[in-house]
Chains A and B, each alone.
Chain A
Amino acid sequence: MSDPHPPYLYPPYRSTPLRAPSQPLVVPKYGPDAIELSSPVFGHAELGLLDNDLTKQHAGEPLGERIVVTGRVLDSGGRPVPNTLVEIWQTNAAGRYIHLRDQHPAPLDPNFTGAGRCLTDADGRYRFVTIKPGAYPWRNHHNAWRPAHIHISVFGTALSQRLVTQMYFPGDPLFAYDPIFGSIPGEKARERLVARFDMDTTVPEWALAYQWDIVLGATPVED
């Protein structure tokens, strides 16, 4: 299976040259050990009931287009990964993160923080209610804009499956100009980060929906 991940060094993304390791990764002959073949576990009791609804974390409704984002977390054999932690974070509808260092002159939304989490169910499914995030400018190059995206973090069952990535929205005209999206080798691999509009999951009079499955890498024992 070819490596679907971006290289560490990708000069068009200007933060990589000083941060990418220059030495090749060391692949131990005897493979990982028990700790790396396992993964931290999280329980329902330590997550809030509304942690997966980013529109209900404040007194009022956030501005923007309400969406339901669902999908499954799968292993490389296509098997569901149940009870694994999924965390997301994103801008508000105007393209502004609540993070203090985000100085993009777009409004903050007092009713939207933009962070959520949930555990996958027995079938590996996750579900979030949120607001469609906005595009925003960054200083990588002249007139650089990030396509709208939701950051997502997943654990899996082995440390080697630990994945942080970004989900994008279909048909974004900014894809062609974004070096972070463009860092992924191959169009097919890039397409795997683009969610599908999901009419079946929309809620009439209330929310649109997107569907996106996450496939984790092989655990060392599978190879």
Chain B
Amino acid sequence: MTQPTPAQPMPAQPTPSQTVGPFFGYALPYADGSRVVPEWHPDAIRIHGRVLDAEGEPLPDALVEIWQTGPDGQVAASYGAFSRDGHDFTGFGRCATDAAGHYWFSTVKPGGAAPHIAVIVFARGLLRSLATRIYFPGEPGNAADPVLSDVPADRRDTLVAVREGDRSYGFDVHLQGEQETVFFGV
């Protein structure tokens, strides 16, 4: 670590994770972080929900990030998530939960046989982040999705958003408890 840049890269031990803590609110959230696409986009959907602890209490100090393909199923390579222009699709969203533990995103449904959105959750009390996925209800491709199929059948529903209307989906993240959300390791 103290030497100048080595000529040959040497395998290195990963840097350990630490909690995001309670005081990221003035640093990580940014204007339009929730707007992966603007609400007036013709295909815009809303995905929202709460982050809840073992006792069902909402977390007012969690940070939710999403990362997804566009409707064409392609991974976005456009920057501009910090300065949304309402046009280029960046695929990235970031939303801090409010006092009621609520987060929301305006986005589009991703493409693919079993459309899904990758989610990362950070919070005070989480010494490392949690990764999960949001799938969509009623998708014929869900049954054959290799990742969803790997999840114990009685827990699969925790990964599927609840349809609340044409353009709105609910997805609560339960960190622990009877309805504990499935979280993924690599």
Report yes or no: A39 in contact with B67, Cβ–Cβ below 8 A.
yes
Tell whether A111 is near chain B: CB-to-CB under 8 Å: no
Residues of B within 8 A of A34 (CB): 69, 75
Consensus secondary structure, chain A interface: loop
Of A62-70, A72-80, A169-177, the one with at least 4 CB within 8 A of chain B:
A72-80
B contact residues around A162 at 8 Å (CB): 65, 120, 129
In the bound complex, what is the Cα–Cα distance between A28 and B6 (angstroms)?
36
| Residues of chain A contacted by B77 (CB below 8 angstroms) | 41
Among B12-20, B41-49, B135-143, B163-171, the stretch that binds chain A is B12-20
Cβ contacts under 8 Å, A15 to chain B: 19, 124-125
Q: Do B150 and A5 touch across chains, with their CB atoms under 8 A apart?
A: no
Contact B118 A8 (CB under 8 A): no
Q: Known: A41-B77, A46-B83, A193-B16. Is A27-B26 also a contact (CB below 8 A)?
A: no
Instruction: Tell me if A26 and B182 are in contact (CB < 8 A).
Output: yes
A211 to B4 alpha-carbon distance, docked (Å): 11
Number of interface residues of A (CB under 8 A): 86
The listed residue with most B CB atoms (<10 A of its CB), out of A43, A97, A162, A164, is A164
Cβ-defined contact, A151 with B13, below 8 A? no
B99 to chain A: closest CB distance in Å?
10
Contact present for A183 and B127 (CB under 8 Å): yes
Is A26's CB under 8 angstroms from B183's CB?
A: yes
A26 touches B184 (CB 8 A): yes
The answer to whether B16 and A89 touch across the interface, beta carbons within 8 angstroms, is no
Does A43 lie within 8 Å of B17, measured CB to CB?
Answer: no
Number of A-B contacts (CB under 8 A): 237
Is the Cβ of A42 less than 8 Å from the Cβ of B82? yes
Query: Number of B residues contacting the other chain (C-beta, 8 Å)?
Result: 73
Asked whether A196 lies within 8 Å of B2 as measured between CB atoms, the reply is yes
A189 and B120 contact, CB distance less than 8 A: no
Bound complex: CA A23 to CA B89 (Å): 35
A115 interface residue per 8 A CB criterion: yes
Contact, CB under 8 Å: B20 / A151: yes
CB neighbours (8 Å) of A4 from chain B are: 13-16
User: Which A-chain residue is minimally distant from B124 (CB atoms)?
Assistant: A15
- Does A165 contact B11, Cβ atoms closer than 8 Å? no
A109 at the interface (CB under 8 A from B): no
Chain A residues near B186: list those with CB within 8 A: 27, 31-32, 160, 217, 220
Name the residue in A45, A87, A114, A163 with the highest tally of chain B Cβ atoms < 10 Å from its Cβ: A163
B-side contacts of A218, CB under 8 Å: 14
Contact A33:B147 (CB < 8 A) given known A20-B175, A196-B2: yes
10 further contact pairs, Cβ within 8 A, besides A35-B67, A41-B77, A77-B12? A4-B14, A15-B124, A20-B176, A26-B185, A29-B146, A35-B110, A40-B92, A46-B80, A88-B27, A183-B127
Interchain residue pairs with CB less than 8 A apart (10) = A4-B14, A18-B175, A24-B185, A35-B116, A78-B9, A165-B18, A180-B127, A183-B18, A188-B13, A192-B16
